[in-house]
Amino acid sequence: MPRLRDVVLQDPHILFVGINPGFMSLEVGHHFAGKFNPFYQLLHAARLVPVVLEAPEDHRLVEFGYALTNLVPRATKMSTDLRKPELDRGRKALVKKVKAMRPKILALVGVTLYPVVAGVKIAKGGTAPGLKDDVIEGARVFVLPNPSGLNASFPTFADKVPWFIALREFAATIPRTPPAAPTLVP
């Protein structure tokens, strides 16, 4: 099965991490390509990027000092279809990527990612978005709501955008490393 390529940048300001690609993303070869996934519109609305990007332009995130990956490479309809062993492998692979890329901020795109990445049990109420106390290989951890239209906890664009704004505000407090040339990794 084909894999979605990471958008890699050495020393990115933010490394965005999705839990796994959707079928549409895998089919077209670009991150957050689902018809009802406003990831790129949220980045623009929060002023994390100065232009509205579309999924085929995911590689342009490096222009703004950002990188992009997924915890698990396998596409599923729902993230609940993922199995614990592949989540565990994904966590180990992510730590290696963070160590190699050295992002300042690790932005987990989806609150269900946090307990997997942080290796913690979460109480029944779940994880709230926002800045966490965790530091992984030098990167601060910030949790965003999943932008998918299937997200029942944050169903509207207006429910999600304040968290992307909070990420921008936090990111502004951390000095940037000048961007390097992008690399695509299979």
Give tens-digit pLDDT for 62-119: 999 999 999 998 878 777 788 889 999 999 999 999 999 999 999 999 998 998 998 8
- Domains of the chain, by residue range, sit at 6-185
Q: Give the span between the Cα atoms of 6 and 73, in whole angstroms.
A: 10
Q: Give the span between the Cα atoms of 165 and 79, in whole angstroms.
A: 25
Q: Three-state SS string across the chain, please?
A: CCCCCEEECCCCCEEEEECCCCHHHHHHCCCCCCCCCCHHHHHHHCCCCCCCCCHHHHHHHHHHCEEEEECCCCCCCCHHHCCHHHHHHHHHHHHHHHHHHCCCEEEEECCCHHHHHHCCCCCCCCCCCEEEEEEECCEEEEEECCCCCCCCCCCCHHHHHHHHHHHHHHHCCCCCCCCCCCEEEC
Q: For position 54, what pLDDT does the model report?
A: 96
User: In this model, does residue 134 exceed pLDDT 80?
Assistant: yes
Other beta carbons within 10 Å of 63: 15
Q: For position 126, what pLDDT does the model report?
A: 66
The whole-number average pLDDT for the span 148-153 is: 76
pLDDT digits 0-9 by tens, 177-186:
765 555 566 5
Report the CATH superfamily, name and number, of domain 6-185: Uracil-DNA glycosylase-like domain (3.40.470.10)
